[in-house]
Amino acid sequence: MEVVGIDVGFGFTKAYNGKNSVIFKSLLGDATDIQFRSLLGDESSTSNLHITFEDKSYFLGSYAEMQSNIRDFTLDQEKLIENFVKIFAVAAAGICTDTLAPINIVSGLPVGYLKRDSKKFKEAIRGTHEITFHNNDGKDVTKRVTIDKIHIIPQPIGSIFNLIFDDKGKIRDKSLATQKLGVVDIGFKTTDFSIFDHLQYIERGSSTMDTGISKCFSVIANKLRQESNINIELYRIFQFIESGMIKIRGKEYNISNLKKRVYTHAAAAIASDLNRLWENDWDIDSIILSGGGSVELSEFLSPNIDGNVIPIGKNIDARFNNVQGYCKFGRYKWGYSKYISDTQQEKKSTKVKKASTADDKNEAVEPSEKEDEKSDKQSKGGLSWLRRQN
């Protein structure tokens, strides 16, 4: 059974199955008729996302940003779950995986919405979905995505699992598994705080705040509107942030200083939330910064945090931390060796067109795989709280 980690964030939808990574802006648009397509430009699998799903056609992500007449995104949790999650999750899974067999999903919700929205989230994505990808070369590919088991965990815990587990879902860092860890996941809309102590999730130190990067973008957009009279949609600001320059109607605006001021202010707000929330958790061993926003804020944030902050790796795209952790956790939970033997079986059955027999199911398991399964079972005790949510 293949495991796909899916993270439908307010800024970006991410998916990872251990092999393929998918990312697109969580932006939905109407599909327009494009009469001329240049073959130049970005050819990545998510740059021209045109899909048909449940009898409606959409552009997704940057394609919607560029080509759709009506573009829709949300910073509202309820709307995200009701209007967007199903389309984004199925599209992301459809791009990520090639298997025809049912897949299992691990996903996350902001800590503050875990209880309220888990059921709705599962109901939205469970089952068999048909989705057509309209490729740039005019070829349509229809995929059937069947989602079997779904496990939802607090979003920031994905980042901790990403550090603790290896790709096979085995605990690779035993020292982290015996520590008290704090994680700060700074996303587009939310900042999620969570504590994980000796592999136990600590509800008390976990919370969701509305201090994501979009707040900073709002301030920048307001300032630009005052100066240029143009209303800039928040999801269009990403591309100007790094250079610090934005050109509006031919006139250049330098937003570097404003960005610095706004980020300093945001980092101070996050640090003060953290210090208040974790006031009594002075025994945290390490603090992990995660989420795309942490890349931008870390230089402003780290000096304000008292504690051992694990620096963000330079070559890492921190937007993927959660989703990679989801996939690793899924392999831990449902067994990597089972996934491998399922894949081999799937390959076999497509190569040799014979009716499947009971022999296939009883195929000898390699001794090392047996060992793996045994150690899986032994180590699962510590994470029993996660299994209860099934």
Ligand X SMILES: Nc1ncnc2c1ncn2[C@@H]1O[C@H](COP(=O)(O)OP(=O)(O)OP(=O)(O)O)[C@@H](O)[C@H]1O
Which spans of this chain sit near ligand X (rule: CB under 6 A)? 9-12, 187-190, 212-213, 238, 291-293, 295-296, 319
Contact code string over 170-189 relative to Mg ion, x by CB under 5 A: -----------------x--
With CB under 5 to 8 Å by kind, the binding choice for 295 among Mg ion, ligand X, none is: ligand X
- Tokens, residue 262: 């706004």
Which of 298, 316, 287, 25 has its CA nearest to residue 186? 298
Least distance between ligand X and beta carbon 254 (Å)? 19
Least distance between ligand X and beta carbon 107 (Å)? 12
Q: Which is nearer to Mg ion, 237 or 255 (CB)?
A: 237
Q: Which is nearer to Mg ion, 214 or 341 (CB)?
A: 214
Which of 167, 4, 8 has its CA nearest to residue 85? 8
Q: Which is nearer to Mg ion, 9 or 154 (CB)?
A: 9
With CB under 5 to 8 Å by kind, the binding choice for 212 among ligand X, Mg ion, none is: ligand X
Least distance between ligand X and beta carbon 151 (Å)? 18
Give me Rg for the CA atoms of the chain.
Answer: 22
Burial 321-334 (b: 16+ CB within 10 A, else e): bbbbbbbbbbbbbb
The dihedral of CA 229, 235, 236, 239: what is its sign? positive
The residues in 185-244 that bind Mg ion, with binding defined as CB under 5 A, are: 187
Least distance between ligand X and beta carbon 334 (Å)? 24
Residue type, 107: S
How many Å from the N-terminal Cα to the C-terminal Cα in the chain? 17
Q: Which is nearer to ligand X, 10 or 133 (CB)?
A: 10
With CB under 5 to 8 Å by kind, the binding choice for 12 among ligand X, Mg ion, none is: ligand X
Q: Which is nearer to Mg ion, 9 or 330 (CB)?
A: 9
With CB under 5 to 8 Å by kind, the binding choice for 328 among ligand X, Mg ion, none is: none
Residue type, 174: K
| CA–CA separation, 192 and 36 (whole Å) | 43
Q: Which is nearer to ligand X, 12 or 16 (CB)?
A: 12
Least distance between ligand X and beta carbon 30 (Å)? 22
With CB under 5 to 8 Å by kind, the binding choice for 189 among Mg ion, ligand X, none is: ligand X
With CB under 5 to 8 Å by kind, the binding choice for 5 among ligand X, Mg ion, none is: none
Burial 197-226 (b: 16+ CB within 10 A, else e): bebebeeebbbbbebbbbbbbeebbeebee
Least distance between ligand X and beta carbon 295 (Å)? 5
DSSP tag of 70: S
| CA–CA separation, 215 and 189 (whole Å) | 7
Q: Which is nearer to ligand X, 11 or 112 (CB)?
A: 11
Least distance between ligand X and beta carbon 85 (Å)? 11
Contact with Mg ion (CB under 5 A): which of 1, 2, 8, 9?
9
DSSP tag of 186: E
Q: Which is nearer to ligand X, 97 or 191 (CB)?
A: 191
With CB under 5 to 8 Å by kind, the binding choice for 296 among Mg ion, ligand X, none is: ligand X
Q: Is 156 in the site for Mg ion (CB under 5 A)?
A: no
DSSP tag of 39: S
Which of 61, 49, 65 has its CA nearest to residue 11? 61
Q: Which is nearer to ligand X, 320 or 334 (CB)?
A: 320
Least distance between Mg ion and beta carbon 361 (Å)? 39
Least distance between ligand X and beta carbon 312 (Å)? 10
How distant, in Å, are the alpha carbons of 26, 86, 142, 240 from that of 129?
19, 10, 10, 37
With CB under 5 to 8 Å by kind, the binding choice for 262 among Mg ion, ligand X, none is: none
Residue 57: phi and psi, rounded to 5, are -105, 140
How distant, in Å, are the alpha carbons of 41, 243, 252, 253 from that of 247?
21, 11, 4, 6
For strands 140-154 and 191-197, give the pairing.
unpaired
Which residues are at the interface with Mg ion (CB under 5 A)?
9, 187
